[in-house]
Amino acid sequence: MNEYQYTNPFTQAVVVTLRKLRADYSLTRQRPACFVVCADAARASALASLASEAATLATSSGVEVFGPGARGAPPAGCSVAIVDDVTTVHMLLKGILDPALELAKLDKKRGEAAARAEALRGKMAMPAYQGKTPPAVKAEDEVKLSKLEAEAAAAEQAMADMRQLLESEQQQ
């Protein structure tokens, strides 16, 4: 283990997520390009400064970071994983994966996030919740709900990207 893995937990979370993507698609020898989209400028900057280390640890050909207001976006044909409520990672898998299978996985992820969000909304709507729940718990639940909604929205966006890739492959 090197010092980097202990000094930046956010970057480590990104690397772990990229490694999980590699494992999901049984990528052993391929070194796909990776992209990180982060809505938090401070996190994006920190990750950008460690991009080469992250690429090495994730066994990638490179990691490109897109912060808020960045020009460009990850290319079509990427698998998407959610690191947290403000960060998603994209791994270029065009030519490596079947977009129809990826679309099914994303639909499942979106459904799970939406179901958890709906269950939390139901819990929060109960009269007993409003009257008996401590304010700290209510605040935590609000944060959880916003994270779940962000996950569902990110999965929906990724599904749109996969549909676009699937259509472009069918046209060729």
Handedness of CA 76, 109, 113, 111 (dihedral sign): positive
Pick the more confident residue, 26 or 34: 34
What is the pTM for the complete model shown?
Answer: 0.61
Residue 150 confidence class, pLDDT cut points 50, 70, 90: confident
Predicted confidence (pLDDT) at residue 97 exceeds the cutoff of 80:
no
Residue 1 confidence class, pLDDT cut points 50, 70, 90: very low
Q: How is domain 99-171 classified at the CATH fold level?
A: Helix Hairpins (1.10.287)
Among residues of the chain, what percentage have pLDDT more than 90? Answer: 39
pLDDT at 96: 78
Helices 9-24 & 41-49, crossing angle to 10 degrees? 70
**Reading across the β-sheet that carries 62-66, which strands appear in turn?**
62-66, 33-38, 87-92, 78-84
Q: Which of 31-35, 45-49, 119-123 has the least mean pLDDT?
A: 45-49
Predicted confidence (pLDDT) at residue 131 exceeds the cutoff of 60:
yes
Mean pLDDT value across the chain: 85
Pick the more confident residue, 150 or 94: 150
